[in-house]
Structure 1
């Protein structure tokens, strides 16, 4: 029963969604996305993935850019599809397949996730200012001090080897470089959302907290299959708090969620073929 719960959640949401949201309204929303806007949104999504791949190069310097890009793309795809962040295991599986030592794959993985969150909080604080500017300040302080984080790892057996690796690879310059690329990745992915729904809502900063909530939804304990239901509800809640109807909020969330799934599948499926059938991806 526990294993089937993510599928039950996803199916229940889809049934409820198509029951309460008229099909005509969904068609109307799709018709308001011109093909050039859709292509531009995909272009911004692609830039986001490129920024992520460039970021990994700091720690995976034995791999080519294309290898890192496909590795990252496969990881994003599995994260979008498999519940409860189990898709993260694909990072370690394919990194090992590409002969990346475990300490490098582990540290790049941890740093990537930490800087993703710092970038989200930093940009959110800048956009909304007020007391939320504290998020930006704290995020920036963490970035500035991050190269000293190896002090928190004890000198114990295998951990000492990992600690020394981090010490050798970390510096203030590297931290700032990673942070800038993480912000670029976040902003270009947000630009994809703004572009996709521009004809419906225009440029709207209220989408930022919804976007952040949707990004964080994948860490929920009950993350559904392909994120259906958990993503939409997480994305919709901030919009609902702004007074937007739940129907419109869910529709926006559903459209962008499917855009992300399809976009990640385009690169992820190609990446699977490349990583599985080529000893040295191009």
Structure 2
């Protein structure tokens, strides 16, 4: 019953979104935009986007080294596509399931490693978004509240984590030894590499995003691209949205555009174009990965 109601809500969101696009004549604006696209920039963004998957594969191979790099990148391509089209990050389940089916890797092991990678993604995204907040606030003093709030939230979060660790340290025997054992298990050098790979992944991803917007002759620059697209990235964790995230993704991106002074009416066509192209690129890499894995399985 819950799944059925979620599906109906997703369909309603999609229908409402299509109506909004029709109401504000977005389709004709996108059509005009496509005629004037810089396909050189799009090709360059796709080239960079492929390297995002390679670095993601390198990051996961720190703990799953029995899978060749090319095959790991192909698995990640398929997994990312499912994440892009399924709500509430439910596409994450595709990664451990594929590894279990093709390589016999235990679901628990791959799930823990993927969860660790997601933590590093969150940290890396937060660092880059905080830098973009300071950059944007320097160019528009009205937004100075956002970096101050972000720093305050980070301080509060660190304080809560500290208190949380102290609580368990005082009440659970051998808690400190457990922390030390965990550090030995994961190894500091691998954790550092995980963080460096994560930073590289997001820098490459936002660079690809910047070239996608440049192709439509919207030169925001690197840090403004981070600022705008991060709002859209956050919508992917919503429990309810339409197929492929159409509607909610655009709403997040339009919100980011509005904070840097662009009207919603002007921003909406760019958000739809951006989202559609990202899904197409994700679908292309997923299909390429699936074909490659199919050929590898046959041999």
Q: TM-score, normalised by structure 1?
A: 0.83
Match of 1:100 in 2: 105
Match of 1:160 in 2: none
CA contact (8 A) 1:59 1:104 kept: no
Residue correspondence of structure 1 range 189-268 to structure 2 within 5 A: 189-198=205-214, 200-204=217-221, 205-268=223-286
CA contact (8 A) 1:73 1:268 kept: yes
Task: Mark the CA change 1:278 to 1:12 in structure 2 (over 3 Å): closer, same or farther.
Answer: farther
Match of 2:118 in 1: 113
Unaligned runs of 5+ in 1: 156-162
Residue correspondence of structure 1 range 126-145 to structure 2 within 5 A: 126-129=131-134, 132=147
Q: State the distance in 2 between where 1:166 and 1:14 align.
A: 50
Report which of the two structures shows the higher radius of gyration computed on alpha carbons.
2
Match of 2:137 in 1: none
Name which of 189, 193, 200 aligns with 1:173: 189
Q: State the distance in 1 between where 2:95 and 2:74 align.
A: 11
Note the C-alpha offset of 1:40.
0.7
Say whether 1:56 aligns with 2:68.
Answer: no
CA contact (8 A) 1:214 1:234 kept: yes
Match of 2:16 in 1: 12
CA contact (8 A) 1:123 1:136 kept: no
Note the C-alpha offset of 1:87.
1.2
Q: State the distance in 2 between where 1:179 and 1:280 align.
A: 36
Q: Which deviates more from structure 2 when the two are superposed, residues 249-258 or residues 224-233? A: 249-258
Note the C-alpha offset of 1:272.
3.0
Name which of 123, 128, 145 aligns with 2:128: 123
Match of 2:141 in 1: none
CA contact (8 A) 2:132 2:227 kept: no
Task: Mark the CA change 1:166 to 1:3 in structure 2 (over 3 Å): closer, same or farther.
Answer: farther
Note the C-alpha offset of 1:119.
0.8
Greater fraction helix: 2
Q: State the distance in 1 between where 2:236 and 2:282 align.
A: 15
Q: Which deviates more from structure 2 when the two are superposed, residues 267-276 or residues 93-102? A: 267-276
Q: State the distance in 1 between where 2:180 and 2:106 align.
A: 14
Task: Mark the CA change 1:280 to 1:114 in structure 2 (over 3 Å): closer, same or farther.
Answer: farther
Q: State the distance in 2 between where 1:179 and 1:14 align.
A: 40
Note the C-alpha offset of 1:74.
0.8
CA contact (8 A) 2:26 2:268 kept: no
Q: State the distance in 2 between where 1:65 and 1:136 align.
A: 40
Q: TM-score, normalised by structure 2?
A: 0.78
